[in-house]
Structure 1
Amino acid sequence: MSEVKPFVAVVDDDESVSRAIKRLLRSIGLASDTFKTGDDFLDMFESIPSYRPACIVLDVQMPGLNGLEVQQRLAGSGIPVVFITAHDEAGVRKQALAAGAVAYLRKPFDDEVLIKAVRTAIILGQKT
């Protein structure tokens, strides 16, 4: 039986950001799925029990559910979250990290920092 390769879910309403992250992850050998909203991701996550990304890269501000609300809905799932945001507010950062986010990165982010955060998140997720 072959082991399922880890993949990352990228949730961001900015398609250019999602595409850039998808390319970056592909460059280090990771597959990814992209979603425009937290609602779209949660629909997939909740309707297909076997759908389990190794990590989720999650925008904070999106139409519908925001990133913090998606993080709350994932509580207890063991899926690590890496936040990305264009609007870095100290209170939001503190709330995200207190709820267990692996990283909270401001856009535009450094590619190497995002890669390191995703790799760390995947390792942490494998321990749960």
Structure 2
Amino acid sequence: MTHSLRIAIIDDEPSVRSGLSNLLLSEGYATLTFASAEAFLNDGHSQRLTALVIADIKLKGMSGAALFEKLQLSPCPPPVIFISGHDDETWQRFAGQPGAVAFLHKPIDIDVLLNHISRVLLRGETRP
């Protein structure tokens, strides 16, 4: 079953972007991939299609944390799953805030990621 909802994957590591995209495509999700937060923010069409964002905390240029803060300024921000290969206290600032779904360490536990995605998208925690 293919989902019409799109998941934006924002990571500056090409292997992470392609790996997550391939995984989610195999699960029936449509994906959009971006190498930077700026690329995502500059693509208004893709933002409108996005139901969920998976973003690395440590990106080159604008960080995933700064991206989250910018997204929260929009009328209906998409929920965000943070990922990181580093121990980073930044994510704790967002824990429990509306729109912050989870923080997952790389390598990502695929079952945990898919459970979060399913819960968010099925529960309707997406933009209208």
TM-score of the superposition, structure 2-length normalised?
Answer: 0.85
* Cα RMSD after superposing both structures: 2.0
**Aligned mates of 1:120, 1:70 — CA distance in 2:** 22
Shift of 1:49: 8.2
Partner of 2:84: 85
Indicate which of 60, 63, 84 corresponds to 1:63.
60
Deviations 1:47-81 (A, max 9, x none): x3872311000000011110000000110433100
Residue correspondence of structure 1 range 42-61 to structure 2 within 5 A: 42-45=41-44, 48=45, 51-61=48-58
1:50/1:74 CA distance change after superposition, 3 Å: closer
Gaps of 5+ in 1: none
**Aligned mates of 2:91, 2:6 — CA distance in 1:** 25
SS of residue paired to 1:97: coil
Question: Is the CA contact 2:78–2:126 (under 8 Å) kept in the aligned structure 1?
Answer: no
**Aligned mates of 1:49, 1:28 — CA distance in 2:** 20
% identical aligned pairs: 28
Higher helix content, 1 or 2:
1
Runs of 4+ in 1 over 6 A off after TM superposition: none
SS of residue paired to 2:86: coil
Gaps of 5+ in 2: none
Q: Give the length in aligned residue pairs.
A: 122
